[in-house]
Chain A
Amino acid sequence: DVKVTQSSRYLVKRTGEKVFLECVQDMDHENMFWYRQDPGLGLRLIYFSYDVKMKEKGDIPEGYSVSREKKERFSLILESASTNQTSMYLCASSFTGGKRYEQYFGPGTRLTVT
């Protein structure tokens, strides 16, 4: 079974702090994704990576950056956390090739910025 793990289930940070969210997958997937999920807005793509050290902006990259130094690990960084970044953050991964659209999600990190 594919396993996608995220470093924390719940996180509380203060405004202005630098926040790191870590995601690890164990299925040798090439693609990794970071989403945020807010009530009524669905999942929105922040960034994705299709290879080590490669990244592309999603629909809402402002205020975020990412790092992918190893294939299995994809980090989301909030450079200076703000209250409007309070949300559920979900990491996902997928293969390239025929099954590339089937994404496997982690359990999510509920981040609260106070």
Chain B
Amino acid sequence: SQKIEQNSEALNIQEGKTATLTCNYTNYSPAYLQWYRQDPGRGPVFLLLIRENEKEKRKERLKVTFDTTLKQSLFHITASQPADSATYLCALVMDSSYKLIFGSGTRLLVRP
């Protein structure tokens, strides 16, 4: 069966450390993978998109990797801050489709 897995347990880290979140998928061959941030009671906000032929993408303190062999994406936030506390969702995009397939998200808590 097709599945996207993100760690359902919250990730709790100290301010200033690097947060690493994981997105694993099975039986999909996405052309793209995206990461969104969602704050409580709000809609998701787009952060980054990475293509299947890109290994890594960066935006300010954010870094995403995409390994199509392992079927895994890693999302890193360096020098984390309490304001980074939120739920982070990964989403797969199949080629020539407008549809996104979302994981259930991982909650990140950054302690001051």
Contacts and interface: CB of A to CB of B under 8 A. Distances in A.
Contact of A48 (B42, B44, B45, B98): B98
24 contacts: A4-B43, A31-B98, A35-B102, A41-B104, A42-B104, A43-B102, A44-B102, A45-B99, A45-B100, A58-B99, A90-B43, A91-B43, A92-B43, A94-B98, A101-B49, A101-B93, A101-B100, A102-B34, A103-B100, A105-B43, A105-B45, A106-B43, A108-B41, A108-B42
Contacts, number: 54
Contacts of B105: 42
B107 to A, nearest CB: 11
Nearest to B103: A42
A42 B45 contact: no
Contact of B46 (A41, A90, A100, A103): A103
Contacts of B28: none
Interface of A: 4, 31, 33, 35, 39-45, 48, 50, 58, 90-92, 94, 100-108
Given A101-B49, A105-B44, 5 more contacts: A39-B104, A40-B104, A90-B44, A101-B93, A102-B34
A103 B103 CA distance: 15
Contacts of A101: 32, 34, 49, 93, 98, 100
Interface in B74-112: 89, 93, 98-100, 102-105
B29 to A, nearest CB: 15
Quick one: which of B41, B100, B104, B105 has the most chain A CB within 10 A?
A: B100
Contact of A104 (B4, B42, B46): B46
Given A101-B32, A101-B93, A102-B49, A43 B44 contact: yes
